[in-house]
Amino acid sequence: MKKLSLSLAGILIFLGSSSLFAGPADGVTGVWTTIDDKTGKPKSKVELFESGGKLYGKIKELINPDEPNPKCTKCKGALLNQPVVGMQIVNNLSKTADGWEGGTILDPNNGETYKCKIWNEGGKLKLRGYIGFLYRTQTWVK
């Protein structure tokens, strides 16, 4: 019985300490592989990171791009004709009880910016972009 109690205590300490490594962004920070919701194929790698209590994300890599080093030809303002790799596409999301929201995400394919909500669901990242009451949800994986 004593061995069982010690083993259980060790497991609880390990599980409790693992939350120290999860990071302040509740399991959403790190590099995620985006999955194209139309084709189901991996499209890019995006790094999500927290800065100043907000969540941001940059494109780290494109998987099988149609052209080498593509530029955002449909973006507006300072992002017009900038390289897609390295571009910050997730901006200013705030922590909520259910995940992160209140910021935006840019789709470099069409140059449009959408309101955004992100949450971790069973180790997969759910990302939802909104225009008014219409939305589209993608699943990203590690």
CB contact at 8 A, 61 and 70: no
How many structural domains does the chain have? Answer: 1
Whole-number pLDDT of residue 25: 54
Q: How far is the C-alpha of 49 from the C-alpha of 90, rounded, in Å?
A: 10
Domain membership flag for residue 104? yes
Whole-number pLDDT of residue 18: 34
Domain membership flag for residue 17? no
Domain membership flag for residue 137? yes
Whole-number pLDDT of residue 36: 86
Domain membership flag for residue 129? yes
Domain membership flag for residue 136? yes
Domain membership flag for residue 3? no
Give the pLDDT of the chain (142 residues) as one tens digit per residue: 444 333 333 333 333 333 333 344 568 999 999 998 788 999 999 999 999 999 999 999 999 998 889 999 999 999 999 999 999 999 999 999 999 999 999 999 999 999 999 999 999 999 999 998 999 999 999 9
Would you state the torsion angle of the CA atoms of residues 58, 61, 62, 64, taken in this order, to the nearest 10 degrees? Answer: -170
Q: Report yes or no on whether pTM surpasses 0.85.
A: no
CB contact at 8 A, 57 and 47: yes
Residue-range definition of the domain harbouring residue 55: 25-141
CATH of the domain at 52: 2.40.128.520
Domain membership flag for residue 2? no
Residues 6+ apart with CB under 8 A from 95: 25, 26, 53, 55
